[in-house]
Amino acid sequence: MMDEGYTIEPLKIGGREFSSRLLVGTGKGVAYPLMRECIEASGAEIVTVAIRRIPTDEKPGEMLVDYLKGLTLLPNTALCFTAKDAVLTARLAREALDTNWVKLEVIGDPQTLFPDNEQLLEAARELVKDDFVVLPYCIDDPIICRKLEDIGCAAVMPLAAPIGSGLGIRNTTNLQIIVEQASVPVIVDAGVGTASDAALAMELGAAAVLMQTAIYGAREPVKMAHAMRHAIAAGHLAYHAGRIPRKLYATASSPLEGVVGS
């Protein structure tokens, strides 16, 4: 991705490179033509697909996958509450979509949709052994992220806030620690509400951001998709540019020497 002469470094995951650092979901019941328009406006190259939610009664040419041509599909294990179900769903996705990539979700609570750490780690171990490229959705806990990386996950995907909440990043400190300690890409997943949330995630050093509700739930989804695209680029550039230190008091922007006396 280019921005007025500045190059946004490619996102590298599992031996592959992507020019966009924004990942987009395909749920929320949005009409397929609008969904595709939003994805194109966002510049996203990777889109998530919930295997358990793919309709089976659609006509050829009007199926979900027909509107996702040319994109990298990242099947996820949404609605799985045990490691066993998540592993089975991942294997079904590999057969159906011909990909060994998976966004691993093992939910522990149906109200908050927070992950079940124990079941997530168990499923990750089994899928990594089965040669999957595993991108796990996890709590914003540096310890869990480190354990997932040690297992062999290709990235970690800590939440910013509960799924679909739009609350933005609730714990910037944890996210900074995760970014600092991780040697795999950190993809902020869930809870983003607007462009400033996405920019903040990137300014904190995240490698990418995944979102869905923030775009499709906006009053003008395509316009929000454009905003998110620019926010990701701005945040990434700002992180690598290096912000000035925070200070309690003012610092004059012009030198005080040579000022004309009154």
Active site residues: 103
CA-nearest of 219, 155, 216, 150 to 189 is 155
CA distance 108 to 259: 65
Helix (H) or strand (E) holding 119: helix 117-129
Helices (H), 138-258: 142-151, 172-181, 195-203, 213-216, 221-241
CB atoms near residue 179 (< 10 Å): 21
Number of DSSP helices (H) and strands (E) in the chain, helices first: 8, 12
- Tokens representing 250? 């003012």
Please answer whether residues 219 and 188 qualify as being in contact, where contact means their C-beta atoms are separated by less than 8 angstroms. Answer: no
In 3-state terms, what secondary structure has residue 8? coil
Q: Is 37 exposed, middle or buried (0-12, 13-18, 19+ CB in 10 A)?
A: middle
